[in-house]
Every structure is written in structure tokens, then in C-alpha cells.
Amino acid sequence: MIPDDATLTETGLPPERSGRVLLIACGALAREILDLKAANGWSHLDLTCLPANLHLWPERITAAVAEAVARHRADYDKLFVVYADCGTGGLLAAKCAELGVEMVEGPHCYAFFEGNAAFAERAEEEMGAFYLTDFLVRQFDAFVWRPLGLDRHPELRGMYFGNYDRLVYQAQTDDPGLDAKAADCAARLGLRYERRLTGYGDLAPALARL
């Protein structure tokens, strides 16, 4: 389990400023970012994660990111925000522009994992799709089932998901266990199941540019 709001370096020691980049990321992306760092040898990138459950209150994301930028700016040559818009209605992008820091492009992680261009092309035909990523499959009960009250009131399922026709699992990894769990999530929601191996999508090139 990756702790929220923890800055990670290769040595575990305080970062030296010269040449280092800090990724200020959603906690839901921590595993993927660490996997990409390890696979590509990006030892100059450090990571600090904000709580993944901020997505339950997207109006809080912009302020949390701004506070993290203020806290860490003096210690790094460059900061990069690993959030998309994520329901902030453009407020996060505006704040990042104001603060002079870059961020991942796209409306949400489902788009940049798919690839923003590919996701936009599918948008019309997938109006009724409910998306899960590796993280959300693992945390389905904590981030979907219980917050919506479906553990206590399963009769609400039709109200929440009556306009959906499928659950699309955007798989970052080829994991049969997660595939089976995602299929179970679809069954619990009464949705047709589709799995799509997206890998890391636009996240990998965005970090590679750093």
C-alpha cells in the first residue's frame, strides 16, 4: 500500500534539488507511476501522492494541489502535476497555469490511460460505459460500492446505473485476478463486461518528457 502524501526518492533520503523533478500525483496513480519509474530508470523523478479519495470531493483537489506545490517548490527544479481535470471544471488547469506548473493533459485518468485521442474517438459510441482502472478494480468497494450506499441499499443500483449498458475495465496490467474481479464488479452492477488492455496510455510519454 502506497501511503498518501508521502514523498518517495530512490534512497529514502531528502531530495537534492539539482536536476530533480517532483511528481505531485493522485494516490490512485501511485503504483503505475512507480512501475514506470522502475521500468525506465527514471531515478531523477520523485513522487508525492495526495489522497486518492479526493476524487470523492473533486472540489477539494485544486486547493490540495496548490498547497502541495507551495510546500515543495523550493526543493525541486521542476514540479509536474499528475492529475487530469478530474471533475474540477477547469479550475485545476487554471491554478496550475497561475502557479507555472505543468500537468497531465486530458479530462480524467480514463482518457489518458486509453490515450486522449483514442478516448475522444470512442466517446460517442461509449456514452453508456462505466470505466474502471486497475486501482478502481482493487478498490471497488471503497470507492464505488460503499460510497454510493449499495452495500446498504442495493435497490439503488438501478437509479445510479440504469443509464449504463457496460462496464469497461481499462487494464494497465495483464492480471487474470484483476480481470476476474472486474468481471464480478460488472455483474454486481448488472452491466455487460468488457476488458481493454490499455497499458499506461498517455501517462508514459508525459512522464518520459520530464
Domain ends where: 82, 104, 126?
104
Residue range 137-165: mean pLDDT, rounded: 96
Compute the distance between CA of residue 78 and CA of residue 100 in angstroms, rounded to an integer. Answer: 10
Look over the chain and give the mean of its residue pLDDT values, rounded to a whole number.
93
Q: What pLDDT is attached to residue 5?
A: 55
How do residues 99-113 score in pLDDT, each as one tens digit? 999 999 999 999 999
- Using only the alpha carbons of the chain, give its radius of gyration: 18
User: Looking at the structure, do residues 55 and 143 belong to the same domain, yes or no?
Assistant: no
Compute the distance between CA of residue 129 and CA of residue 185 in angstroms, rounded to an integer. Answer: 13
- Whether 204 is in a domain gets the answer no
Please name the residues in contact with 194: beta carbons below 8 A apart, sequence gap of 6 or more. Answer: 129, 166, 167, 168, 169
Distance, CA of 124 to chain centre: 22
Asked whether residue 1 carries a pLDDT value surpassing 80, the answer given is no
- Whether 171 is in a domain gets the answer yes
Q: Angle at CA 145, nearest 5°, toward 188 and 192?
A: 30
User: Looking at the structure, do residues 90 and 142 belong to the same domain, yes or no?
Assistant: no
User: Looking at the structure, do residues 83 and 135 belong to the same domain, yes or no?
Assistant: no
User: Looking at the structure, do residues 99 and 161 belong to the same domain, yes or no?
Assistant: no
User: Looking at the structure, do residues 126 and 61 belong to the same domain, yes or no?
Assistant: no
pLDDT band at 19 (very low <50, low <70, confident <90, very high): confident
User: Looking at the structure, do residues 65 and 85 belong to the same domain, yes or no?
Assistant: yes
On whether the pTM is more than 0.85, the answer is yes
User: Looking at the structure, do residues 146 and 182 belong to the same domain, yes or no?
Assistant: yes
- Whether 183 is in a domain gets the answer yes
- Whether 147 is in a domain gets the answer yes
- Long-range pairs, 194-199, Cβ under 8 A, ≥24: 194/129, 194/166, 194/167, 194/168, 194/169, 195/168, 195/169, 195/171, 196/114, 196/168, 196/169, 196/170, 196/171, 197/171, 198/113, 198/114, 198/115, 198/170, 198/171, 198/172, 199/113, 199/172
Q: What pLDDT is attached to residue 17?
A: 56
User: Looking at the structure, do residues 188 and 122 belong to the same domain, yes or no?
Assistant: yes
CB 169 within 8 A of CB 182: yes
Q: What pLDDT is attached to residue 130?
A: 98
- Whether 109 is in a domain gets the answer no
Asked whether residue 11 carries a pLDDT value surpassing 50, the answer given is no
How many other CB atoms sit within 10 Å of the CB of residue 113?
27
- Whether 135 is in a domain gets the answer yes
- Whether 208 is in a domain gets the answer no
User: Looking at the structure, do residues 100 and 11 belong to the same domain, yes or no?
Assistant: yes
Compute the distance between CA of residue 87 and CA of residue 183 in angstroms, rounded to an integer. Answer: 26
As for how many domains the chain has, the answer is: 2
User: Looking at the structure, do residues 14 and 85 belong to the same domain, yes or no?
Assistant: yes
First to last CA, the chain: 26
Host domain of residue 178? 114-197
Q: Which residue stretches of 73-193 are H helix? A: 91-99, 109-114, 116-122, 134-138, 140, 157-161, 176-189
Domain ends where: 47, 73, 104?
104
- Region of residue 196 (phi > 0: left; psi between -120 and 50: alpha; otherwise: beta): beta
